[in-house]
Structure 1
């Protein structure tokens, strides 16, 4: 009898120690903004009120040179797999263009962060915009997530029902119909709070992927948030771009010697309807403001639960601000649930201050994002800026390191593609990036290679350009004819990467057709 009791006590102690060990592992929260420009939050230059994100940066580390893939589906695929998008199967978007690198679905020889952490006893949670295959065999639950609330098919939804998009909302496997009080940014956060509380109650560390739709078009926001900014942008594009640029220099986001890229917007005084332009940017600002408010709600809950200190929060954007200029329902009130409008190239140029180009391009304006890393328990030197270049493929190996999780060699009999990126935590703690850090980019024929401080870049069907980003971060001084040896080396390395990843000339033709997938 005594022996039996001792065995029971030992087993209970072992169970308690196991639960304690699991709870000591950090929670991971990855927050992804959609189509947010580089300068659109306060800590990178904006006049938009983002006190919660600014506070995370101030009590964490802000990376000023994090790179994405310049478009939504490819970035999400790279983030979740730790691979270049072509390796993952998303060389373009979520449509099958007839080749493995462009099949628009995860390839059989890749695995997601959620699948790996799920095997390591993490509660895996996905909220918001998926856009990586909405069929059941490709949705979040099929790719390692235990809980999900959001829109498998994609974004473009704030109010419900939504105009202009065929979108359905799911709670795990159940199709749900939101009511008229629903706003996607708020709803995603509601379930982020609910699912994380559930994990805490169950003594499970959790990995949360919170993919907001904001501030992607259409411009739709709560009237109270819009009114906060209405009239604020009446001074025009040049005023706010210069104001953001000067603030960036004061904050140390860019060097004081940095030159602002050439303006790419209309003269404000030439506009017929300045009030409409002011309103469009006010709505866009309101969408970011509301996202920040909701991030504050999540942070407050984690603090109340005693989990904030041991939760790693990562925040960044899937691409730069867009140059899309559309208004599908011109009779609708701007910002309302019936409107479908984008803020246009002019304001996109302001969003991407101080850089050139936009979403889908591989110049800096399309591919660079701030990255906030916040972890009170694990980051001792806070409030720092890191100018070291990193890539979203670095997120996966970083999370593996933080959670003491091994990357598997095989999945369902398939040998997995090795991870591309590297753990960035040494950089978080103040170390320097390796001088030969290599990154490659391609989307719709726009191409780039960055190795160290040198960047080779081209717009589809145009000539290659070469820049020294250390001296010329805004890509103004093209050195292609002065540094031919460096340019040729980068071209060779890009071509080797392209061959290894299965890149095809753009437009990619499916079944030998000439139809370009937009």
Structure 2
């Protein structure tokens, strides 16, 4: 009898151990890929002529959120991704170079917020980051490997670095706290990917899930790309702004990304015939396209590594941009070859093409500044393949979604510090057909540009300009201002915005010193 009981107990222990191991293995790996200053239409799957087969395949094998919002600028978006909070609650109300005694504008992640990496690390996940941090770099305690990431390769400071060393931007590169000195063949897009692949293949414990945050600098200015990538696009943009923008919009309509019965917003670029330096203008966009193309090549290498490790089926990968396209138009090195390591230029008015069919751009709160496509792929967990998720969601929703994927709860305290609840909520229910709560409000502010959206209605203004009101269901490109027609609606939304701004410590712009 004792022998039977012993054998039964042994079988039970084996079964429990197997179940426990299976649970550990079945927790998905999670990779969040963030790119910098990419416009809405810069991918093939969102209308572009730029070759992005790997991201297009990712969208066809997963889902594409067509109405996903970011925070319209690099530092604020990063703070919200990492913490699930509006940026003010995390201490990043403006940029990391903002040094203010106002807590909401201190310029680095505060200890009242907890990062995805910190929470997932406490819930059995390994954590790794590669790329641009940009939410506090001046003190060592602000770096990613002090905020939950067990390993980190990249630059704690901002963007702008492609070839090393940069002649224009002071961006030291570190590997686990030790400064690196790459050779002349180094290119940041490739390097960030290579270290990520090395982690996947050689540095992780393969019986535990991992969380990876891969934050590229591309395609942020300056225009610097590899010659072989530039050559692919050398002739492409000589047809001018309008031909490319119209072609993108037509492609978007055929794909069902945008309404097929509404005109795009009015272009802001000049007639191509009036442009004096056509070859220069065309080459600027060619270099930009090469930078996006290189990004896509690296996404392909990353996916290949997941497949080689037999973990691609149960790895959740999300891809998005930190803001809309950037209008930086200067060329501080007019004598340098466009695209070379000696080039410090932006692509200027081409931003209006990148943001097809939306108005405005980075730092502004019209759709062109704060809307991004978000691609999500997870073969083992997503029934939908190649579908569009048209419900709107927000950058603060990424952390709650990651925690739900990992089966982790948001903590009430961390390291003895009481935490506020996250502002975002998981967008995973939207994947199963649930509609966004029409009463949910989304808010934005950056350098005095402001907006609030509730349901289909959006109230928005440029700094020191009048408020504008749009019904995005009928007017997604914000062309028909209804503020005079619906003053009560505008007043109600304005009240919501003011209450929210007061609650989150949003200050008037320009920022004044705290008395």
Match of residue 304 from structure 1: 308
Shift of 1:415: 1.4
Give the whole-Å Cα distance in 1 for the aligned partners of 2:201 and 2:128: 12
SS at 1:87's partner residue?
A: coil
The structure-2 alpha-carbon separation of the partners of 1:41 and 1:82, relative to structure 1 and needing over 3 Å to count, comes to same
Shift of 1:430: 2.4
Aligned with residue 55 of structure 2, among 39, 53, 56? 53
SS at 1:431's partner residue?
A: coil
Deviation >3 Å, runs of 4+: 2-20, 198-202
Aligned with residue 288 of structure 1, among 281, 286, 292? 292
Q: Does 1:275 align with 2:279?
A: yes
Give the whole-Å Cα distance in 2 for the aligned partners of 1:298 and 1:464: 44
| Structure 2 counterparts to residues 346-365 of structure 1, below 5 A | 346-365=349-368
SS at 1:75's partner residue?
A: helix
Match of residue 106 from structure 1: 109
CA offset digits 1:141-171 (Å, max 9, x no partner): 0100011110001110100011110110011
CA offset digits 1:442-500 (Å, max 9, x no partner): 00000000000000000000000000000000000000011111101100000000000
SS at 2:179's partner residue?
A: strand
Match of residue 136 from structure 1: 140
Give the whole-Å Cα distance in 2 for the aligned partners of 1:12 and 1:176: 47
Q: Does 1:246 align with 2:259?
A: no
Shift of 1:9: 10
Q: Does 1:448 align with 2:451?
A: yes
| Contact 2:118–2:147 (CA under 8 A) maintained in structure 1 | yes
Q: Does 1:433 align with 2:462?
A: no
The structure-2 alpha-carbon separation of the partners of 1:500 and 1:338, relative to structure 1 and needing over 3 Å to count, comes to same
Match of residue 418 from structure 1: 421
Q: Does 1:92 align with 2:94?
A: yes
Moved more, 33-42 or 431-440: 431-440
Shift of 1:255: 1.0
Q: CA RMSD in A?
A: 1.9
Match of residue 477 from structure 1: 480
Q: Does 1:505 align with 2:508?
A: yes
| Contact 1:42–1:49 (CA under 8 A) maintained in structure 2 | yes
Q: Does 1:26 align with 2:28?
A: yes
Match of residue 233 from structure 1: 237
The structure-2 alpha-carbon separation of the partners of 1:203 and 1:478, relative to structure 1 and needing over 3 Å to count, comes to same
TM-score where L is the length of structure 2: 0.96
Aligned with residue 158 of structure 1, among 137, 159, 162? 162
Unmatched segments (≥5 aa) in structure 1: 513-518
| Contact 2:64–2:389 (CA under 8 A) maintained in structure 1 | yes
| Structure 2 counterparts to residues 377-392 of structure 1, below 5 A | 377-392=380-395
Aligned length: 510
| Contact 2:126–2:204 (CA under 8 A) maintained in structure 1 | no
Shift of 1:125: 0.8
CA offset digits 1:290-330 (Å, max 9, x no partner): 00000000101111211011000100000000111111222
Q: Does 1:168 align with 2:137?
A: no
The structure-2 alpha-carbon separation of the partners of 1:156 and 1:8, relative to structure 1 and needing over 3 Å to count, comes to farther
Moved more, 354-363 or 250-259: 250-259
SS at 1:475's partner residue?
A: coil
Match of residue 119 from structure 2: 116
CA offset digits 1:387-440 (Å, max 9, x no partner): 110101111111111110011001222211111112111211222212223100
Give the whole-Å Cα distance in 2 for the aligned partners of 1:182 and 1:14: 49
Match of residue 64 from structure 1: 66
Give the whole-Å Cα distance in 1 for the aligned partners of 2:11 and 2:177: 40
Unmatched segments (≥5 aa) in structure 2: none
Aligned with residue 182 of structure 1, among 168, 183, 186? 186
